[in-house]
Chain A
């Protein structure tokens, strides 16, 4: 029988060294007795360590980190339990932690869970009281954890309250931070903490006021804030009274509602914007459009934009995800490609009017993404009202249709791009005047091409088309 005596309850270094030594020496778990030196000898010199057998072995990293957590558990069996897992892993059960229904694994996981919960609750329920002294202000707290978590948990408070001087006192251990160094010493008692703080009345008032008596759920509160914590929480003193008066407060609201007499309504600022060009007015009207069902899931109408005297009008298909969010046409990936191609072709974006055949984004939701969906004939026809209005107002000399949807919207018929692209066509405007139409691909077509070679070729052809557009508009 081997006896291992650890210096204190969370003597991780000694436990780890012993577990390694025992494994290498092939000592079975049932032949080891683990204990912790009496608390009164806490700061006594450690005993001489026996020479460790040489050699090494590996256990899963997850098991080591689990052991580091579980050693904090308030359970005298934990040292032996953890050694058993190490032993089993070493003996061939490499995936021991995956055996989630194994009783020893489960027991260990439950201890780990209890430690993690206690750790979290300490971060939540420690309450500092302010102590103002000539040397400066200190913050002191009394807390009663269930497990041996103070040492491992103190760095959290250091990260958060690094610029303060504070102490957290608990029955078995106290942590002190002076702004530079974290120290631990023996436990303390509640009497070591002042019994009030200048802001506690405010905190209680906040706690009482944020409570909604119409939603009383005492069980839910107790599940997350068990009563054992209450005595150290200043706000908990208000709980009984809040519960006692809750139903009365609600009844008085439900049964005898006091209806205030309506005051004269005050009209709020948002004066409707009016005036501007006819196109600006159309854009405002379009914002309310419900000619087809696309308005409902979308963010907004994305109307055309560009100078009112533009000679060239570029018509795309519909706004995409980015355009829908930003409220402007051609700002997403296809728009950026269009910008690049226009720049190469010598076409200044500032001089052209950019718009879409359909002015709401049509999509199908897929998880957190919105997948573009081609607009149907019904939607194109419904939205033609706005496109016609834009064309009638702008009277562009040249209308460039980007892709099949734009061609259908402008020409009112199905078009095969490859057959009709790259050449000017007569396009009567609303008043029967002669203007020119021009068909090319939509930039998103270039983005969808699978191979690089085709991409380069088609991009060059697109830029070439835009050069023709520049020449035609000159």
Chain B
């Protein structure tokens, strides 16, 4: 099989992993060096966007899509009839360097199906990273997908070459994982994450210790392949952030795959739900919301028709209106339509003058959304806040939701 065909197969096989981040790692530069190539400066760069709206920052490929596991949601599972391919270590190295020198990518995101054994596979993955770093002086970004069942020694070696390590929890519950990914188990995933956190923290605390995954670890769970509620999903993501200091928990709406297993519902990817989960995740990480504050229905799911902050505000109207001239930062972050940046600008501006509604408009806040919830020098929301029709006024028309459906 020629290299072009392999690339097509092994990129196609890798596209269900949402992560493509290349940010937050140590700073490296090639200036003053005589060999090697590459730099990292903290901020990630998205070198292209595909028509799915996703950023392309890294060369995201599998080393091989052959796999001895049979995870039902996965296109590469053992029982799938998909065409198989396998890169050699040198082929991955050549493609990475070639694309990097043309400024197409920030680096490599390498994952792999499990062949022969977890240790054998992990060893191959680590060898690619080691070759790039040691033989070619590659200073770009490397993200390695680690295999929970591989030996701790290999995991530790991976962290020496990688900027980021990740292990996918895949399913929001242990039972879901047991049902859909019979060869994987949550305790072993958690143990690996715990081990990685200890090493990452240790390397960060001691300047002299060798670098270890300076961009931390992340994970991904698939949304909609099992029947887990939003409550379950958010509880697990909160738990993982806290336990393992993850940089990101990615949600990936389960998309139909060719040659799918009959146990999975063949339906379109629940993109709007994925979007709402990210919004909720954001509220908890940057807006000081707690998981138990989110508005959930009896089944533990969010209302898809509106963003979770608006849903919360409509249920807690007694806490509004907020006076933009006196409310605290924490209070302002609860106002629908106000983001972290606009709140910080608002706080700066009000040191110098009493704010009016046109000041908020100049800060580019969505006025229709903000107005019912705030008091300003020249504005009182009046009866609007208590109006039974407030939700109707603020919720986008069904037609607009279609872009996600």
Contacts and interface: CB of A to CB of B under 8 A. Distances in A.
Contacts, number: 253
Given A98-B352, A209-B7, A197 B102 contact: yes
Contacts of A299: 190-191, 193-194, 243
A54 interface: no
A128 B101 CA distance: 7
Given A127-B103, A258-B81, A365-B239, A207 B190 contact: no
Given A124-B45, A214-B256, A161 B37 contact: yes
Contact of B55 (A101, A159, A224): A224
Contacts of B46: 124, 224
Contact of B70 (A164, A225, A265, A369): A265
A201 B242 CA distance: 44
A250 interface: yes
Contact of A219 (B53, B79, B346): B53
Contacts of B95: 202
Contact of A159 (B29, B195, B238): B29
Contacts of A381: none
Contact of A327 (B8, B98, B194, B260): B194
Contacts of A233: 48
B243 A297 contact: yes
Interface stretch (A33-41, A235-243, A453-461): A235-243
B40 to A, nearest CB: 9
Nearest to A161: B37
A120 B256 CA distance: 34
Given A263-B78, A299-B191, A254 B48 contact: no
A460 B357 CA distance: 65
Interface stretch (B12-20, B124-132, B162-170, B295-303): B12-20
B401 to A, nearest CB: 13
A368 B346 CA distance: 27
A368 B48 contact: no
A163 B79 contact: no
A152 B64 CA distance: 42
Given A106-B362, A215-B271, A99 B349 contact: yes
Given A139-B102, A259-B262, A101 B52 contact: no
B261 interface: yes
Interface in A63-101: 95, 98-101
B79 A123 contact: no
B39 interface: yes
Contacts of A209: 7-9, 11-12, 15
Contacts of A199: 98-99, 102
Contacts of B197: 325
B50 interface: yes
A258 B257 CA distance: 10
A258 B259 contact: yes
Given A217-B403, A221-B49, A268-B183, A369 B102 contact: no
A220 B348 CA distance: 31
A385 interface: no
Interface in B146-188: 149, 183, 187
A225 B30 contact: no
A254 to B, nearest CB: 5
Contacts of A203: 99, 102, 104
Contact of B45 (A120, A127, A243, A324): A120
A246 interface: yes
Contacts of B195: 325-326
A216 interface: yes
B90 to A, nearest CB: 15
A369 B238 CA distance: 11
B317 interface: no
A257 B261 CA distance: 9
A270 interface: yes
Nearest to B117: A269
Interface of A: 95, 98-101, 103, 106, 120, 123-130, 139, 141, 156-164, 197, 199, 201-203, 205-221, 224-225, 233, 235, 239, 242-243, 246, 250, 253-255, 257-260, 262-263, 265-266, 268-270, 287, 297, 299-300, 322, 324-327, 365-370
5 contacts: A99-B352, A210-B60, A215-B53, A324-B194, A325-B197
Given A160-B30, A202-B99, A266-B68, 11 more contacts: A100-B345, A224-B53, A257-B259, A257-B260, A258-B258, A259-B259, A259-B261, A260-B81, A263-B79, A299-B191, A369-B242
Question: 7 smallest A-B Cβ distances: which pairs?
Answer: A220-B53, A217-B53, A325-B194, A214-B255, A209-B11, A162-B30, A215-B52
